[in-house]
Homo-oligomer: A and B are copies of this chain.
Amino acid sequence: MSRSHYSGEVNESVIGQRVALKGWVQKRRDLGGLIFVDVRDRSGIVQVVFNPKISERAAEIGEKLRNEFVVSIEGLVVARSDGQVNTSMKTGKVEVQVDHAAIINAAKNPPFAIEDNTDVSEDLRLKYRYLDLRRPAMFETFKMRSDITKSVRNFLDREGFLEVETPILTKSTPEGARDYLVPSRVHEGEFYALPQSPQLFKQMLMVSGFDKYYQIARCFRDEDLRADRQPEFTQIDMELSFQTMEDIIQLNERLMVQMMKDVKGLSIEPKFQRMSYKEAMDRFGSDKPDVRFGLELINVSDLVKDSAFKVFSGAVENGGQVKLINVKGVAANYSRKDIDALGEFAAVYGAKGLAWLKVEEEGVKGPIAKFFEGEASAALITRAEAEAGDLLLFVADSASVVADALGALRLKFGKELGLIDNSVYKFLWITDWPLFEYDDKAGRYFAAHHPFTMPFEEDLDKLETDPASVRAQAYDLVLNGYELGGGSSRIYRRDIQEKMFSVLGFSDEEAKEQFGFLMEAFEYGTPPHGGIAFGLDRLVMLLSGSTNLRDTIAFPKTASASDLLTNAPSPVSQAQLEELSLSAKEQNNQKVSD
């Protein structure tokens, strides 16, 4: 008999009905001649009871069951007696009296228990990913992932977007992260690259007049992995023609509002907060600030520029800043040793020191208090809106070090002091980005977003003369302190694109070799266009409440980019290499199987 119900559907509403279940043995216990078995499938768990008085044959099967056996169960749904009701289970008011049962497949004892709160090592979970994915919380995450993409697709479809697939085997473009390469067998010595994003292809679709494109697109970066990076990741990718930055921002606000409603059942504010890059850095020391709490950075450079405390006045003199955060009411809880530890934490972000003051009724206390007496103290207290019991933490350094160090401290206190309401989702647009970042090591400018981002029209004349001051028509969407995605208006004129490549240090030949087709396309009637891309994996992570990106990907790679389940990457045969006209370097030949 085929399945009549999923386990999770067997509740009070089907009492008195016969059901047929297919699932896995979650737990089995013998109690007074009866065998109780929890049968699990993707929907949940229901208790079934083998009673020899009801079916001796079924009870014999029940005897043989072990954890993770695959079973077929038929029987009558009955109400549990009052004392047996389990209110923590959605099927806890009923049980199934088994009259027919069969073992569909046996199972060895699994290397870890199939339950949500497992403390087994992640490597073991990845090696036995098919067991790890049996944990109900994992299924819920992938259900949510599927729900998110469904909601996004439905919204974009209603808005007239067309889903178009772009190639995975494409061209290597060294500007950006490191490419994964794919050797060509037909064209000896040549390579495809896996795309870091569908950027150029979606721009081509705009040149083609497709007008509104989207794709849930797989992208690839061969970078050293961090906890929140994977070699392959998925983007919600879109591009539109003839739309202003404002149009695109508002469209995506509506998208996110709808998605949060569909997936989380939450009504969020339809208009998101906006903040310039500069303001975000000034107030939060971050270009992706978590605005669910305050504890903002307070600039006191003007107050201390003439201070006798040379660390402060010197920093200002050298073009840097002095800023503080006011950690309210905690002064009494932080010993000198505790504050030293905070200093070590700040040092990771480049701060050479962490100055501090404790605020008391009579003024400020601490090693540097002597520099801030009378009016100087009062001015600081006023600026910091401080009161007795507050702890003021200062960093004096270049603007970027001050931002990094105090921004990180702010987040640390936000989490540790419970300042963050985790039930809240705060979306935030960051706008007015610089177009370029100067890299001291490379001695040249890099594109802050990517080389296809349109400058502000009014900054166009500074593109070559003062690149650092040129602003980009770019915008990032931040959620709870994470960058969800970034968008921009794109360059659609050849002359601007050429200047852009020139600032980035491309020779004319290099620009033509790598992006000639793009610049040529601009000459055949290219509409103004722009778009945005969101990291789907990160979105799932934030909405599922996970902190591990790998939990959002069905078959993820480890930090060394390995798949522990299938054992990829792996050696290939000499014959395969020869077909590709490749040889692995000598020192590795012994690793290549024959």
* Shortest distance between the CB of A457 and any CB in chain B (Å): 14
- Complex contact B589–A189 (CB within 8 A): yes
Assess whether A585 is in contact with B188, with CB atoms less than 8 Å apart.
yes
Nearest Cβ on chain B to A459's Cβ, whole angstroms = 20
Within A525-574, the residues touching B (CB, 8 Å) are 525-528, 553-555, 557, 560-563, 565-573
Copies of the chain in the assembly? 2
**Are B189's CB and A592's CB within 8 A?**
yes
Chain B's closest residue to A593 (CB) is: B513
Of A179-187, A392-400, A438-446, the one contacting chain B is A179-187
Contact in complex: B188, A568 (CB < 8 Å): no
Q: Are B581 and A588 in contact (CB under 8 A)?
A: yes
Known A42-B210, A525-B24: A218·B168 in contact at CB below 8 Å: yes
Cβ B108 vs Cβ A523 within 8 A:
yes
B568–A170 contact, CB under 8 A? yes
Write out the residue numbers on chain B whose beta carbons fall within 8 Å of the beta carbon of A299: none
The verdict on A169 contacting B557 (CB below 8 Å), with A576-B179, A591-B188 known, is yes
Whether A35 is near chain B, meaning CB under 8 Å from some CB there, is no
| Complex contacts, A180 vs chain B, CB 8 Å | 169, 182
Residue of B nearest to A200 (CB): B566
- Residue in B2, B178, B194, B587 whose CB lies within 8 Å of A242: B2
Contact string, A62-93, partner B, CB cutoff 8 A, digits 1/0? 00000011100000000000000000000000
Is A307 part of the binding interface, using a Cβ–Cβ cutoff of 8 Å? Answer: no
**Segment of A10-18, A159-167, A282-290, A428-436 in the binding face:** A159-167
Pair B139/A210 contact, Cβ less than 8 Å: yes
A142 at interface (Cβ–Cβ under 8 A)? Answer: yes
Residues in B with CB closer than 8 Å to A186 are 560-561
Given the complex of chains A and B, what is the CA–CA distance between A521 and B493 in angstroms? Answer: 55
A579 at interface by CB-CB < 8 Å: yes
Question: In the bound complex, how far is the Cα of B582 from the Cα of A572, in angstroms?
Answer: 14
Contact B168 A108 (CB under 8 A): no
Residue of B nearest to A234 (CB): B165
Pick from B133, B165, B568: contact of A192, CB below 8 A.
Answer: B568
Chain B residues closer than 8 Å to A166, beta-carbon distance: 554-555
Q: Is A498 an interface residue (CB 8 A)?
A: no
Report the separation of the CA atoms of residues A568 and B186 in the bound assembly, to the nearest whole angstrom. Answer: 12
Q: How far is the CB of A180 from chain B (nearest CB, A)?
A: 5
A187–B188 Cα distance when bound, in Å, is 23
Q: Are A583 and B585 in contact (CB under 8 A)?
A: yes
Nearest residue, chain B, Cβ from A164: B554
Q: How far is the CB of A451 from chain B (nearest CB, A)?
A: 15
Is A106 part of the contact surface with B, judged by Cβ < 8 Å?
Answer: yes
A318 at the interface (CB under 8 A from B): no
Q: Which of A107, A174, A190 has the most CB of B within 10 A?
A: A190
Asked whether A218 and B105 contact (CB < 8 A) given A188-B585, A554-B201, the answer is no
Q: Is the CB of A581 within 8 A of B584?
A: yes
A179 to chain B, nearest CB (A): 7
Task: Check if A379 is an interface residue, CB within 8 A of chain B.
Answer: no
Residue of A133, A149, A181, A205 with most chain B CB atoms under a 10 A cut-off: A181
Q: Is the CB of A210 within 8 A of B569?
A: no
Say whether B150 contacts A157, CB under 8 Å: yes
CB-contact partner of A580 in B149, B181, B521, under 8 A: B181
Please name all residues of chain B whose beta carbon is closer than 8 Å to the beta carbon of A581 when the two chains form the complex. Answer: 584-585, 587-588
Chain B residues near A241: list those with CB within 8 A. Answer: 22
A68 CB, nearest partner CB in chain B, Å: 4
Contacts of A585 in B (CB 8 A): 188-189, 581-583
In the complex, A192→B149 CA distance in Å? 27
Contact B104–A571 (Cβ < 8 Å): no
Interchain CB contact (< 8 A) of A247 among B2, B194, B569:
B2
Which residues of chain B have C-beta atoms less than 8 A from A554's C-beta? Answer: 164-166, 201, 205
Tell me, in angstroms, the Cα distance from A222 to B576 when the chains sit together. Answer: 11
- Is A220 interfacial (CB 8 A cutoff)? yes
List the 3 shortest-distance A-B pairs measured between CB atoms, nearest first: A189-B588, A107-B525, A133-B208
Residues of A within 8 A of B (CB): 2-3, 22-24, 40-42, 68-70, 104-108, 110, 128-134, 138-139, 142-143, 145-146, 149-150, 153, 157, 162-172, 174, 178-194, 200-201, 204-205, 207-211, 218, 220, 222, 231-232, 234, 241-244, 247, 492-493, 517, 521-528, 553-555, 557, 560-563, 565-573, 576, 579-585, 587-589, 591-592
